[in-house]
Chains A and B, each alone.
Chain A
Amino acid sequence: AQKVTQAQTEISVVEKEDVTLDCVYETRDTTYYLFWYKQPPSGELVFLIRRNSFDEQNEISGRYSWNFQKSTSSFNFTITASQVVDSAVYFCALSEAWYGGSQGNLIFGKGTKLSVKP
């Protein structure tokens, strides 16, 4: 069955520290998509990245980087030199391609709450 596990419920760091948020997924499909979303205290869900199962290249966007490893079914997210504005709940999500009639709905992990203290 499809499943996304974010084992870290809460993480607290001091500003400028690097922090890695873990995401492990389970899927029966060979074609799938992985996502990260950010939910700041204001409550909206902000899309960060989408990665398909055939692209294992790591991605870097400013202070954010993502490490996708199919061998370990992981899609981890690292924030370098964290800032107070990074404080949010971060969700990892999985979408399978057309499996079982579910047309692309996202399976979310339970989220990791990151607190960055000044």
Chain B
Amino acid sequence: DAGITQSPRHKVTETGTPVTLRCHQTENHRYMYWYRQDPGHGLRLIHYSYGVKDTDKGEVSDGYSVSRSKTEDFLLTLESATSSQTSVYFCAISELPKETQYFGPGTRLLVL
């Protein structure tokens, strides 16, 4: 199994509060991705990174920001959480953009 961890695994927060989710990898892969999974939508890309300090937006990036200061860590921040951001968030890594993506265990976020 790829060495990917996500923290926290579960979080409950209130509308309007900032939230940061962390993805940590031990594989030294260059590419990292954040997806959200919602019923009826499958998984959708939020942001991705193609190197340290190199990030770009995905399909559903509004309300989210990311940072990557080290190869192994990719942070997802909800600046002011809303109920529509209640979801399961998955981090993924790949060595090259068209190679297989391996997923972390996911973070369940509930925004009240």
Chain B binds chain A: yes
Do B97 and A91 touch across chains, with their CB atoms under 8 A apart?
Answer: no
Interface of A, helix, strand, loop or mixed by DSSP: loop
Residues of B whose CB lies within 8 Å of any CB of A are: 31, 33, 35, 40-45, 48, 50, 56, 58, 88, 90, 92, 94, 96-103, 105-106
Contact present for B42 and A91 (CB under 8 Å): yes
Closest residue on chain B to residue A92 by CB atoms: B42
We find that the number of chain A residues with CB closer than 8 angstroms to chain B is 24
Interface residues of A in 79-111 (CB under 8 A from B): 91, 93, 95, 97-98, 101-106, 108-111
Q: Is the CB of A103 within 8 A of B103?
A: no
Interface residues in chain A, defined as those with a beta carbon under 8 Å from any beta carbon in chain B: 4, 33, 35, 37, 43-45, 47, 50, 91, 93, 95, 97-98, 101-106, 108-111
Q: Is the interface of B mostly helix, strand, loop or mixed?
A: strand
Contact with B43, one of A44, A47, A103, A108 (Cβ below 8 angstroms): A108
- The complex places the Cα of A109 from the Cα of B41 at a distance, in Å, of 8
Residues of A contacting B88 with CB < 8 Å?
43
Chain B residues closer than 8 Å to A111, beta-carbon distance: 42
8 CB-based A-B contacts, threshold 8 Å: A33-B98, A47-B102, A91-B43, A97-B98, A101-B56, A103-B56, A105-B45, A110-B41
Closest 6 CB pairs of A and B: A104-B97, A108-B42, A45-B103, A103-B97, A110-B42, A108-B43
**Distance A95 CA – B99 CA, assembled complex (angstroms):** 9
